[in-house]
Amino acid sequence: MTGPAAIEAVELTRRYQLDGVAVEALRGVSLRIGRGEFAAVVGPSGSGKSTLMHLLGCLDRPSSGVLKVNGVDISRLSDGELAELRNRTIGFVFQSFHLLARTTALDNVALPLVYRGLGRAERRARARAALESVGLGHRLHHRPSQMSGGEQQRVAIARALVGEPKVLLADEPTGNLDTSNGAEVMAILDRLNEAGGMAVVLVTHEAEVAAHARRQIHVRDGVIERDDGPSQRDGGPSEQDGGPSERDGGPSERDGGPSGQGGGS
């Protein structure tokens, strides 16, 4: 597969000021996620894995380093251009679903397309197709309170997919689900990745969830501790700690996806 990698990061750092104290959440992370790859970012609480996901998802900017998403250097983008890149390139799935409570499944899924200027009929047609793809064609007009946790997470996956992203970022997608619903959500992510073309990056602290990925990137204390499994779908192996090969928030009013500040977890 030719063309730019889905994500290229070189020596990313992220520093925060907490009560006047500088905290380094990431300390020089380099990695490459190939197009169509399924990778898991694994680490305990406080390791920096969620901060890394927020950077890779363009929800936050690095303190230093280079980050390219689908070949675009984000340092060259204005905030508006960065929001546009998120909307067109990245889909998000979070642990807490982040669905609009008073809105039907159909309209929750269609929301990101509002910011692309699509007409109502096209938005709803595409949202219907996305919901059908995750087995919820019969729940189009139900609100989140009328659905189980597993169904809500499938709505969130459909919302992430409706814009046909190049990258799907899933942060602890089974964290609020029981074993059965968690397995169903992971089966959907497996199927989506196997269909090809879309990179899936899964953030988790659970070994059995990470095992679904073909590559596991272990993060601890703000650095990549170990990278198991090379990127093979986009031009060869990744180079860990070396070169371009190697907030949990609510829905954004700008791009229909989650927004917020990265944390140190």
What's the CATH number for 7-228? Answer: 3.40.50.300
Identify the band that residue 73 occupies on the pLDDT scale cut at 50, 70 and 90: very high
**Does residue 17 surpass a pLDDT of 90?**
no
pTM: 0.82
**Does residue 102 surpass a pLDDT of 50?**
yes
**pLDDT of amino acid 109:** 98
Separation of alpha carbons 48 and 134, rounded Å = 31
**Does residue 71 surpass a pLDDT of 70?**
yes
pLDDT tens-digit profile of 105-151?
999 999 999 988 899 999 999 999 999 999 999 999 999 999 999 99
**pLDDT of amino acid 19:** 85
DSSP line for 20-76: TEEEEEEEEEEEEE-TT-EEEEE--TTSSHHHHHHHHTTSS--SEEEEEETTEEGGG
